[in-house]
């Protein structure tokens, strides 16, 4: 009888191993996701790019292959020779291979860029236009889902900040997620803007509540960490309640601060003025210290991806001293303090 029980237990374990081998995402640990979004470089890497990222304690990276749609148009263009190397299929594959060689976990987060606007404003007047754009986006996102599955990536983001689309076309997103599930075996999320996450109707189809977490806090030039921690408390309480209601962990798919005066305030306004603002590394460092302190010990918070990291310093928009990256700034030491602890 004892032998039979052991044999049954062996079979049960064998079946579980087969399942885990089929779907590697089941093996993800409960540790925090301590990640960086790595900016796609214009040209191929000249040397290994991820050692510096790992020195911060990060175990995760996020790659963002961009497509683009012109506002009012219905085409999603991607994988074009006109795009940077790191945004095209060949560049994404090489980036994944290099990151996996270093033992890093990866989220692939394809995004659509809208020149002069943002995805949240995208809407169409006719059903035909909606259907045309949605068909193009489906081609775009399934291309990257297939690649993510080919490389057995841990996490895939199905969309980013489509505020109007998720309000007006939730059934499209629900159907798309089902298609992605048939292709990709890892975990799934969607990246909702900080002011829209409660309106998303399909969280129960995903594994994480993903938020672009640019919640505005204090707008003074250099708020101290204590006051920033206090300012985060109402947001933390609301997110904790939402996570419990949905029975899902929350992931900050993007979070971060410019290194300028007042960077803990309204980021979407400051971005337009960043080139002309005074450099303020202390404000950025205090912002990171507060947000990582507030959320770091919460079990319902799964961590996140800091926006952003420039591999070998390439890919920036001309003002890296003021940009979001904490690398080579005061904030890098703050991030290390938390990332190396988790």
Residue 60 lies in a domain: yes
Q: Is the pLDDT of residue 2 over 80?
A: no
**Residue 168 maps to a domain:** yes
Q: How many domains does the chain have?
A: 1
117: tokens are 């606007």
Helices 281-295 and 225-246 pack at an angle, to 10 degrees, of 40
Q: What is the pLDDT of residue 318?
A: 83
In a domain, 253, yes or no: yes
| C-alpha–C-alpha distance, residues 188 and 157, integer Å | 6
Q: How far apart (Å, rounded) are the C-alpha atoms in residues 269 and 230?
A: 23
Is the pLDDT assigned to residue 240 strictly greater than 60? yes
Helices (runs of H) and strands (runs of E) counted in the chain: 10, 11
Is residue 265 assigned to a domain? Answer: yes
Which two structure tokens, joined as six digits, stand for 182? 């048939």
The greatest distance separating any two alpha carbons of the chain, rounded to the nearest whole angstrom, comes to: 78
* Dihedral pair phi/psi, residue 213, rounded to 5°: -95, 60
How far is the C-alpha of 269 from the C-alpha of 258, rounded, in Å? 11
Task: Look at residue 10 and tell me if it is in a domain.
Answer: no
Task: For residue 224, give the CATH number of its domain.
Answer: 3.20.20.80
pLDDT (tens digit per residue) in 146-167 = 999 999 999 999 999 999 999 9
pTM flag (> 0.75): yes
**C-alpha to C-alpha distance for 224 and 129, rounded to whole angstroms:** 49
Full domain range(s) for residue 329: 31-339
- Say if CB 323 and CB 259 are below 8 A apart: yes
Does a structural domain hold residue 26?
no
Q: Does residue 19 sit within a domain?
A: no
In a domain, 25, yes or no: no
């Amino acid at each position: 009888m004892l032998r039979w029980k052991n044999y049954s237990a062996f079979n049960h374990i064998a079946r579980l191993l087969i399942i885990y081998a089929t779907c590697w995402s089941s093996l993800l640990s409960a540790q925090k996701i301590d990640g960086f979004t790595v900016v796609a470089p214009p040209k191929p890497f000249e040397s290994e790019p991820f050692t510096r990222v790992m020195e911060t304690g990060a175990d995760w990276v996020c790659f963002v292959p961009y497509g683009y749609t012109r506002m009012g148009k219905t085409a999603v263009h991607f994988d074009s020779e006109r795009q940077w190397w790191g945004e095209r299929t060949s560049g994404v594959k090489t980036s994944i291979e290099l990151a996996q060689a270093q033992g890093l976990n990866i989220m692939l987060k394809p995004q659509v860029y809208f020149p002069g606007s943002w995805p949240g404003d995208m809407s169409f007047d006719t059903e035909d236009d909606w259907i045309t754009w949605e068909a193009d986006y489906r081609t775009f996102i399934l291309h990257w889902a297939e690649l993510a599955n080919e490389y057995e990536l841990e996490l895939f983001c199905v969309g980013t900040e489509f505020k109007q689309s998720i309000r007006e076309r939730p059934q499209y997103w629900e159907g798309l997620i089902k298609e992605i599930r048939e292709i990709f075996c890892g975990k799934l999320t969607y990246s909702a803007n900080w002011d829209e996450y409660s309106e998303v109707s399909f969280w129960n189809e995903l594994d994480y509540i993903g938020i672009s977490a640019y919640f505005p806090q204090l707008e003074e030039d250099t708020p101290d960490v204590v006051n920033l921690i206090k300012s985060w408390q109402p947001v933390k309480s609301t997110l904790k309640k939402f996570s419990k209601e949905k029975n899902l962990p929350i992931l900050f798919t993007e979070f971060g601060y410019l290194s300028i005066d007042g960077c803990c305030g309204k980021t979407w306004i400051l971005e337009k003025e960043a080139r002309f603002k005074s450099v303020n590394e202390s404000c950025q460092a205090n912002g990171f210290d507060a947000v990582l302190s507030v959320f770091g010990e919460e079990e319902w918070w799964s961590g996140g991806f800091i926006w952003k990291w420039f591999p070998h310093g390439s890919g920036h928009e001309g003002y890296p001293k003021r940009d979001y990256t904490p690398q080579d700034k005061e904030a890098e030491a703050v991030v290390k303090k938390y990332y190396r602890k988790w």
